[in-house]
Amino acid sequence: MSVRSQAERLLQSATQELTTAGVPSPRVDAELLLSHVTGVPRGMLTTRAHPHEMQRRTYLEMIAARARRVPLQHITGSAAFRYVDLEVGPGVFVPRPETEELAGWAIERAMTVDAPVVVDLCTGSGAIALSVVHEVPQARVHAVELDASAHGWAERNLLGTGVDLRLGDAFEAFGDLDGAVDVVVCNPPYIPLDAWESVAPEARDHDPSLALWSGDDGLDAMRALELVAWRLLRPGGVVGAEHADAQGESAPAVFVPRWRDVRDHADLSGRPRYVTATHP
């Protein structure tokens, strides 16, 4: 069997298995996993990948796990986020590409301040906090996570960065920073409790429940965030928070009564994705 046909046959079989399982991007996932196993870049798999028997078995096990809708990043153990790579696995929310835009906003705002103080609430894997300290090295970054397992992943990812990582309730944390913060950023839980069936199995069955559900309308955490950001931010400080695409009006409405410059922002696909506001 030629090198090309061996890789192609593996990919074709894997793609069919993932398609049958309802995986949204079966060919891409099949290629990413084969690349992960063999170390050959995706674009060269059919010409250069020549997996030996142990690699083939490992690959088939990974495809079977992905067919069970285990997140791709849990299988590979890593997730790319902006310019950093994060260790992820069972017990931590996998950072999404959409959240990179919220992180970018926080980074841009932090860059306008000398020695900015940035707080990342509900940090999960530490994705936003790590991106901020990576791209704004002069920032003093603080992060908090309530779930002990997710906090453990954040510890791995933030080790040696200087980020002040704490274990605790995001909406009660950082009393020592009241009125001294320049940027508060948060990717809170925002899925309504009755939306169970609409959530992808990768999130519903594998992400921590604390990272997903937020009351009957999905805005319980947003309301709590509004209170804590008001307490933490200095006058003129800013807050940014991700929300569901169906919350493009309801999420900003949480901030309208006492904040200024309340704006909602779309993601790259044009869907409402995050709200920002300024402490008066």
Percent of the chain at pLDDT > 90 equals: 79
Specify the pLDDT at position 3. 44
Specify the pLDDT at position 102. 97
Q: Out of 39-48, 155-164, 205-214, which region has the weakest mean confidence (pLDDT)? A: 205-214
pLDDT tens sequence across 135-190: 999 999 999 999 999 999 999 999 999 999 999 999 999 999 999 999 999 999 87
Band of residue 111 on the pLDDT scale cut at 50, 70, 90: very high
User: Does the pLDDT at position 24 exceed 60?
Assistant: yes
The CATH superfamily label for domain 92-278 reads Vaccinia Virus protein VP39 (3.40.50.150)
More confident residue, 202 or 84: 84
Q: Mean pLDDT score of the chain, rounded to an integer?
A: 91
Q: Domain coordinates of the chain in residue numbers? A: 3-68, 92-278
| Distance in angstroms (rounded) separating the CA atoms of residues 60 and 65 | 9
Band of residue 1 on the pLDDT scale cut at 50, 70, 90: very low
User: Does the pLDDT at position 77 exceed 70?
Assistant: yes
Specify the pLDDT at position 268. 86
Concatenating the DSSP letter of every residue in 197-247 gives GGS-HHHHTTS-GGGTB-SSSS-HHHHHHHHHHHHHEEEEEEEEEE--GGG
pTM here is 0.87
User: Does the pLDDT at position 208 exceed 70?
Assistant: no
Burial of 153 (0-12, 13-18, 19+ CB in 10 A): buried
User: Does the pLDDT at position 76 exceed 80?
Assistant: yes
**H/E stretch holding 276:** strand 272-278
Q: Is the dihedral of CA 108, 109, 113, 118 positive or negative?
A: negative
Average pLDDT of span 20-30: 95
Band of residue 212 on the pLDDT scale cut at 50, 70, 90: low
Average pLDDT of span 8-22: 95
